[in-house]
Amino acid sequence: DVKVTQSSRYLVKRTGEKVFLECVQDMDHENMFWYRQDPGLGLRLIYFSYDVKMKEKGDIPEGYSVSREKKERFSLILESASTNQTSMYLCASSPGDIKAIQYFGAGTRLSVL
Amino acid sequence: AQTVTQSQPEMSVQEAETVTLSCTYDTSESDYYLFWYKQPPSRQMILVIRQEAYKQQNATENRFSVNFQKAAKSFSLKISDSQLGDAAMYFCAYRSAGGYQAGTALIFGKGTTLSVSS
């Protein structure tokens, strides 16, 4: 079974802190994604990566950055957390085949106080 | 830009009954993929069913089937013989088939919360 693991289920941080959300997949997938999920808004793409050290902005990249130094790991970074970044964050991965489906992690619920 | 619309924020169904969740999308592309994902209270998103736009035949997976109307840009999900375990939020999603990098991300609707009563 494909496994996408997000390091934390729940996280509480203070405004202005630097926050790292980690995601690891065990299936050698080329593509990895970070989505943000908010009630009434569905899932919105923050960033995605199609190869090591390669990244593309999604629909809502402001206030976020990403890092992919190894194929299996994709990190989402909040340089200076703000209260409007309180949300659920979902990581996903998929093979490079255009027909392939995305596999999701269990999500990290982040609260910024 | 492509958009996905789920017009039913909430739906309810009784066990063993059938329910249909609606999804419409807007695109100028001719080749794309459509998906229904399920997110139970555990938060783990699970793929329910996938449809390839160039295939006219509607996809089915056990009790789940879709009604894909390409000209109308409609992609509804039918759940037959509903079970308590079907209670979840359901998301409709679109993915372009063109352009390797641009086409891999999913565009999601806002979701429909389905409750199942006994």
Mean pLDDT by 10 residues, chain A (113 residues): 88 97 94 93 92 90 96 96 97 84 93 97
Q: Which residues pair with B90 in a beta bridge?
A: B38, B112
What distance in Å separates the CA atoms of residue A85 and residue A16, rounded to the nearest whole number?
11
Structure confidence at residue A40 (pLDDT): 87
How distant is the alpha carbon of residue B93 from its chain centre?
6
CA dihedral A23, A28, A30, A36 (to 10 degrees): -20
Of residues A42, A56, A58, nearest to B110 (C-beta): A42
Of residues B37, B104, B111, nearest to A94 (C-beta): B104
What distance in Å separates the CA atoms of residue A65 and residue A46, rounded to the nearest whole number?
9
Contact A98 B100 (CB under 8 A): yes
Contact A106 B44 (CB under 8 A): yes
Q: How confident is the model over B22-76, as pLDDT tens digits? A: 999 999 988 899 999 999 988 889 999 999 998 889 999 999 999 999 999 999 9
Q: Which residues contact A106 (CB under 8 A, 6 or more apart)?
A: A6, A9, B42, B43, B44
Structure confidence at residue B31 (pLDDT): 87
Contact A3, A72 (CB under 8 A): no
